[in-house]
A and B are shown apart, each in its own frame.
Chain A
Amino acid sequence: MLRCSAFALAFLLGLTVVSVAAESLDVKIGYLRRAKHQETISLVQMPPPDDGLAGAQMAADDNDTTGKFLNQRFSLVDMHLKQGDDADAAVKALAAQGIKLVVADLPADVLLKAADAGNSLGMLFFNAAAVADRLRQEDCRANLVHTAPSRAMLADALGQYLIWKKWSRWLLVTGSHERDKLWADAIKRTAKRYGATIVQEREFKDTGGARQTDSGVAQIQTQIPVFTQQAPAYDVLVAADESEVFAQYLPYRTWDARPVAGSAGLVPTSWDASNGLWGGIQMQSRFTRTFKRQMSALDMQAWTAVRMIGEAVQRTNADDPQTLLKFMTGPQMNLGAYKGQKLTVRDWDLQLRQPILLTDGRTIVSVSPQEGFLHQFSELDTLGYDRPETKCKLQ
């Protein structure tokens, strides 16, 4: 109401209201999400049913607030896959609704299928969840932008801090699942880049069993010290456990009195509910007020994707994916996302540059890149695969 009368008044007075679109734009954004999220060892970290979607919703609302002044509307179409659902069919269903912009919370292989299915339909995808480095390397796509940080970025962010702390001898404990090994590979790459030594790598086998049991703690208390004993001298135990099988059990239970980092202890992430830096407190309270829960990293990555779309639509007054992508990878892109600096997109692999938080889940311990890790163009490019190392050929 208020805005309508403001516009009416502006027109009556013959004022030129700049940047107000002559024609209205109705931007529909698809939100394509996986059947189920990974359960966690810790009860307080269990993913809520609307994990990610809530972040996207808040960004759509934020876009809409600006949009009301510009005669643009933003809405979200939620597409929740069920176990065994075909991603191709879901993409076609979104396309049938005229949707060309899709934010995806999908595992890497499903995401690639979806992006490829959408390619011929002129659709642009935003990867809000998958950390796989191959999506930014040999399997990159010209219609796939990444707001989720990659494993390499997360590992570099953690590694820079450990090196700054002079904890350069790492005991690496890796889970037995494929993605744990990929996470360990990223950590090994970081160790090599920054001159850390992996004194030993141990595998923690997933033998199955229930996550929560009535007598669980007593057994874990004896298992973990035994598992971590007789290690060569090390400064920090780095755990690679994306599957949530063991890492959360390591802190305070290792044989040697050593800190834990990686998948538990000091964790690298794009966002944490404890972050109040750079206006983040406003973001947290806005989110909590709306969704009655705390904001997760996935929420933030989805929020960022939808805000990127909003920013591009508002600056270009267009909604076709090609114009938007050109803006996002160009010099005018400067997204504010409570990270203390503008966020931009790497034009060689469509990865969003972003500082990475290091948190123990209660406070922000540090933010990488760390001081002293220099770069000729952007210090943010010290995290992950830089232009000279890229294997990505966008097409």
Chain B
Amino acid sequence: MRYAMALIAGLILSPQAHAYMAYVSNERSNTVTVIDTDAMAVVKTIKVGQRPRGIELTKDDKYCLVAVGDDDTVQVIDTAKGEVTANLPSGPDPELFTLSPDNKVLYIANENDNTVTMVDMEKRAPMGEVQVGVEPEGMGLSPDGKILVNTSETTNMAHFIDTQTKKIVANVLVDSRPRFAAFKSDGSELWVSSEVGGTVSVIDPVKHVVTKRITFAIPGLRSESIQPVGINITRDGKTVFVALGPANRVAVIDGTTHEVKKYLLVGQRVWHGAFTPDEKYLLTTNGISNDVSVIDVANLKVIKSIQVGELPWGVTITRH
């Protein structure tokens, strides 16, 4: 009875019914912070395994998946319950992963093993792996789900993997320590960030050639401190945000001309970002300053910062 009451109260009070929620992985705290993006306030902190980094919601928002590298698993947070309810067989030291558009396959980069592991989400069982370069990290899936791109940090390549045959079909050499890969929503371009090289490569995913190498220059900053990691591209492909790590800035790039338009000052050591579903806001995780910056996408201004756990790393936002 009391349980039922609580459940009803929970349903009424739960902000989830009418607000989008951002889930932020805190690498050091071993927690996930939940932020109500209407109120732009923290509503919950969820305990997870050790060293949570890569984080992504299932397309139906029912589950939030988080890679806990030091526990060698990807954990499943039931978003209604707000707690970890299952562990997935991820292979060793998972860092970043991506979900197929139909939610059926999870592709995980295993940094310590030079492999990409594929997990059947219904059976929650491994269904295959692909040998890639040394220290695989970035994972980008083409919008049709047919091509998976994995970047390997020490091999300095973007590997194009056919998700049906599970075979590599092409390899493109990029600058040092490629960490993140993102397709435009129409699949016309693949963007890959190189953390040590300090560049972003725009790749033609059909011809497998680098068509543009974007460089960054910020007055007063050494080039070594400009270390691109997370990439967020608007649905219309017109604006791209690149997190520049210890440069403490997010670069705003014209998606058509590939020119850097602006640098937005955020918190310290910015890793990754996520848009709210209406693309009004971009939230970025700032590793060293333990906060999340909120960027007003239309006005290209940082409007707020929200304190989260220690060393925030990844962020994902509900769609519904």
Contacts and interface: CB of A to CB of B under 8 A. Distances in A.
Interface string B216-231: 0000001011010000
Contacts of B196: 334-336, 341-342
User: Which of B159, B210, B224 has the largest number of chain A CB atoms within 10 A?
Assistant: B224
Interface string A4-43: 0110011001011111100000000000000000000000
Interface in B167-181: 167-173, 175-177
B208 to A, nearest CB: 5
A15 B133 CA distance: 21
User: Which of A66, A311, A380 has the largest number of chain B CB atoms within 10 A?
Assistant: A66
A230 B170 CA distance: 70
A77 B198 CA distance: 34
B209 interface: yes
A179 B204 CA distance: 56
Interface string B162-194: 000001111111011100000000000000000
Contacts of A62: 134, 154-155
Given A66-B156, A334-B196, A334-B198, A282 B135 contact: yes
User: Which of B114, B135, B227 has the largest number of chain A CB atoms within 10 A?
Assistant: B135
A3 B196 CA distance: 27
B131 A19 contact: no
A336 B177 contact: yes
Contact of A334 (B93, B153, B175, B210): B175
A334 B208 contact: no
User: Which of B112, B114, B169, B196 has the largest number of chain A CB atoms within 10 A?
Assistant: B196
Contacts of A66: 133-134, 154-157
A195 B104 CA distance: 64
Contacts of A315: 173
User: Which of A13, A16, A18, A335 has the largest number of chain B CB atoms within 10 A?
Assistant: A18
Question: Does more than half of chain B's interface fall in helix, strand or loop, or is it mixed?
Answer: loop
Contacts of B131: 2
Interface string B116-145: 000000000000001101110000000000
Interface in A108-161: none
Nearest to B195: A336
A249 interface: no
Given A341-B196, A342-B224, A17 B154 contact: no
Contacts of B225: 341
Contact of A19 (B169, B173, B224): B173
A379 B152 CA distance: 28
A15 B205 CA distance: 11
Contact of A282 (B111, B167, B171): B111
Contacts of A286: 112, 134
B167 A335 contact: no
A152 B169 CA distance: 48
B82 interface: no
A367 interface: no
Given A336-B196, A342-B198, A18 B224 contact: no
Contacts of A106: none
A13 B169 CA distance: 10
A379 B222 contact: yes
A65 B131 CA distance: 10
A101 to B, nearest CB: 20
Interface in A280-334: 282, 285-286, 289, 307, 311, 314-315, 334
Interface in A333-368: 334-336, 341-342
Contacts of B198: 334, 342
B209 A16 contact: yes
Contact of B135 (A2, A15, A69, A279): A279
Contacts of A15: 169-170, 207-208
A289 B113 CA distance: 11
Contact of A2 (B133, B167, B173): B167
Those 7 A-B pairs whose CB atoms lie nearest each other, nearest first: A336-B196, A341-B224, A69-B171, A336-B177, A336-B176, A19-B173, A6-B168
Given A279-B135, A342-B224, 7 more contacts: A6-B170, A17-B208, A62-B154, A70-B173, A286-B134, A289-B112, A334-B198
Interface of A: 2-3, 5-6, 9-10, 13, 15-20, 62, 65-66, 69-70, 279, 282, 285-286, 289, 307, 311, 314-315, 334-336, 341-342, 378-380
Interface of B: 93, 111-112, 114, 130-131, 133-135, 152-157, 159, 167-173, 175-177, 195-198, 207-210, 222, 224-225, 227
